[in-house]
Structure 1
Amino acid sequence: MSYDFGIKKLAEVTPSNETPFLIEGLVHRTATMIYGRPKAGKSFVALSAAMALGEGTEWLGREVEQRTTLLWALDPGQEDETLQRFKTANGSDTSHLYITGVRPEDTDEWWAEFTDILLANGVDVLIVDNLSALLGRGSYNNDSDVRPALGRLQALLNEDIAVVLVHHAGKFNEEQGSQKSPMGSTAIEAWGRHFVQVTDDQELRILRVYGNNTPEKELGIALNFNGEGDDGAFVTLIGEEETVAMSAEHDELVARAKARWDSRKDKQKKQGRSPEQKAKADRNRGTDHASQIKAYMSKSPGDWIKQGTITASVPGNSAVLKSALDAMVGNGSLETKTQGRSNLYRLAS
């Protein structure tokens, strides 16, 4: 095989020693999404992470290397509000955390200039708060509105600028999104490499963390809106644990998977959706169709009737009715012939 275009044997690849995270297990060096319901505290969590990155201080028990970080505050009045929160949390004057409230324009020229400015100023991390405001008049439920914006953020990733995107979570029975996933178009979740879902349980906040490079886990934190925190601005780590057994023993993993399989099959059976039940129902439907076809054609005994007339007059899917007609011809209940492009049937004499 030719070895052009970087093609090589997988066994010959030299592994990278670089961690995929800027903050281990929490903020990815490419695309991270922090999402949650309104008032869950996702913007406070994002600002706390931004302050840790800008100052190079520990965050939720993880060491953090100082990075030039830009917070893109897109809601009206958010720039002033964020400054007040920064001061409340005693943000450092030596922090490499910057902010802008500029509104994006929907042109390639604007985004190219914006990207050049970020690169010229050595921005390592862009925190976008939030996707809804970034889209402007667009809707995050529409692929056609979402994909151009996500594509422009992807262009920043291609320049090695990490992007943290703040977004909303869905709610139960909402048209698009669910309580456990980002709201809107599936393109949104497909864009992310790493996710931090923020939910609230009174004083306790739960960070559900999952992605391509880490086992799913939950972190419990206290979120103090007055700025105090033992493990970063506003945040104090209460506890954490893995919630998916990526490191479980093989036999344990197989046993849990089998239990899920058995539970799934039992549920299908109770709901009448097992393969055996479906097959029986299909057979019953076939018998019903045959009886219905015979009853309809008995009104005109001896007449040849077009297939289209039969399928239009007898209830049921036309493909299923055609299968029933073929079966009836096979068992001798019907006779058939062709006339031009039409199939004709009549009751067997």
Structure 2
Amino acid sequence: MTNPFGIQRLSEVTPASETPFLIEGLIHRTATMIYGRPKAGKSFVALSAAMALGEGTPWLGQDVEPLNTLLWALDPGQEDETYQRFNTAQGKADSRLFITDVRPEDSDEWWSEFSDVLVSTGVEVLIVDNLSALLGRGSYNNDADVRPALGRLQALLDEGIAIVLVHHSGKFNEEQGSGKSPMGSTAIEAWGRQFIQVTDDQELRVLRVYGNNTPERELGIALNFNGEGDHGAFVTLVGEEETVAMTAEHEELVARAKARWDGRKDRQKKQGRSPQQKAGKASEPRQNGIPERIREALKDKPEGMGWNELDKAVTGSSGAKSKAANSMVEAGSLTRTKEGNRTVYRLAS
């Protein structure tokens, strides 16, 4: 099949020959997000990865090719602070790591010029620290503020520039975030292809690594703020494991899924929300007290009432009253007899 839209059989697709990662299993070739709570060490992890990319030195056990890497330092005073950290970690003088603290403007013209400069100067990786500062007065909980900024980063991705975005995670039930997710609008997490969550446990930092192209796993690292590290600036790898959910055997995975399914059905049944209960409620006519009003109208009428008379004596729509009367006849609480041209209703004795 030949067409201008590239439609072809899925079985005939030629997969890309290159890995989707700049640092295998860690930093994606497109959009990576490093996030965590304040003081967890996410900026140190991001700088460590940036130095490895700029110098072409191994990082957390993975080989790294040197790339032109730009660190966009958006917090006040961050450029000087980062320079001091770089020197503390004995960064190389010929490193291809660059830095800027220019503040972005909220205009398409500014971003177009910024993109042109990045492309013309050969920037291959842009590390943005951090999203909150990138938004300026906007809020990362507001889709209207988040989407334009992410769209502008996407335009840089379209130019072939890999982006590492530093962001915050929330406490459980805090604003729109959770303890295990990037804080804010769901558009933020949808943007990323690879994620590294940084959490601290005293001397230990745990990196929860997951994404579209890797199984979820956890890395334990020692984070040395004096710059020393056996597996990159500041970082020493002390342990690694895949999460149980990703390494479970097929039978175990199916059993756990079925247990959750059964639990879900039990909860629905207790709450009256099972499909069978909903179907039963849907089939029952909404009578809104009409049977009681029919009984009240007929209680002193042993001779009964014709339908027209009963219809006038009982409030409600005629359709609802007819359904209620039919239901009462079927239940045996009301009798219906044909007397000449009249249909007479009486309370059952």
The one-character-per-residue Cα deviations of 1:201-234 (angstroms, maximum 9, x if unpaired) are: 1111110011111111110100011111000000
* Alignment partners' CA distance in 1, 2:315 and 2:194: 62
TM-score (norm 1): 0.82
- Decide whether the 8 Å contact of 1:216 with 1:244 is kept in 2: no
Instruction: Give the number of equivalent residue pairs.
Output: 320
**Aligned: 1:161 with 2:161:** yes
- The match for 1:260 is 257
Q: 331, 340, 343: which one pairs with 2:327?
A: 331
Superposition pairs for residues 242-253 of structure 1, below 5 Å? Answer: 242-243=242-243, 246=246, 252-253=249-250
- Decide whether the 8 Å contact of 2:291 with 2:324 is kept in 1: no
Q: Report the Cα offset of residue 300 of structure 1.
A: 6.7
Paired residue type of 1:104: P
- Decide whether the 8 Å contact of 1:265 with 1:274 is kept in 2: no
TM-score (norm 2): 0.82
Superposition pairs for residues 1-349 of structure 1, below 5 Å? Answer: 1-243=1-243, 246=246, 252-266=249-263, 269=266, 272-273=269-270, 279-280=276-277, 290=287, 292-295=289-292, 302=310, 303-307=313-317, 328=324, 330-332=326-328, 349=346
Instruction: Provide the identity percentage.
Output: 65
Q: Report the Cα offset of residue 242 of structure 1.
A: 1.3
Paired residue type of 1:163: I
* Alignment partners' CA distance in 2, 1:169 and 1:297: 61
The one-character-per-residue Cα deviations of 1:27-77 (angstroms, maximum 9, x if unpaired) are: 000000000111111000000000000000000000000000000010111
Paired residue type of 1:262: A
Paired residue type of 1:328: A
* Alignment partners' CA distance in 2, 1:292 and 1:53: 74
Do the aligned partners of residues 114 and 16 (structure 1) sit closer, same or farther apart at CA in structure 2, a change above 3 Å counting? same
Do the aligned partners of residues 163 and 332 (structure 1) sit closer, same or farther apart at CA in structure 2, a change above 3 Å counting? same
* Alignment partners' CA distance in 2, 1:200 and 1:285: 52
Segments of 5+ residues of structure 1 without an aligned counterpart are: 311-321, 335-347
Do the aligned partners of residues 2 and 81 (structure 1) sit closer, same or farther apart at CA in structure 2, a change above 3 Å counting? same
Do the aligned partners of residues 20 and 281 (structure 1) sit closer, same or farther apart at CA in structure 2, a change above 3 Å counting? closer
Structure 2 residue matching 1:17: 3-state secondary structure: coil
* Alignment partners' CA distance in 2, 1:116 and 1:147: 21
* Alignment partners' CA distance in 1, 2:255 and 2:186: 29
The structure with the largest alpha-carbon Rg is 2
The one-character-per-residue Cα deviations of 1:174-209 (angstroms, maximum 9, x if unpaired) are: 130111111000000010011011111111111001
Segments of 5+ residues of structure 2 without an aligned counterpart are: 299-309, 331-344
Structure 2 residue matching 1:15: 3-state secondary structure: coil
Do the aligned partners of residues 290 and 61 (structure 1) sit closer, same or farther apart at CA in structure 2, a change above 3 Å counting? same
- The match for 1:344 is none
Do the aligned partners of residues 5 and 78 (structure 1) sit closer, same or farther apart at CA in structure 2, a change above 3 Å counting? same
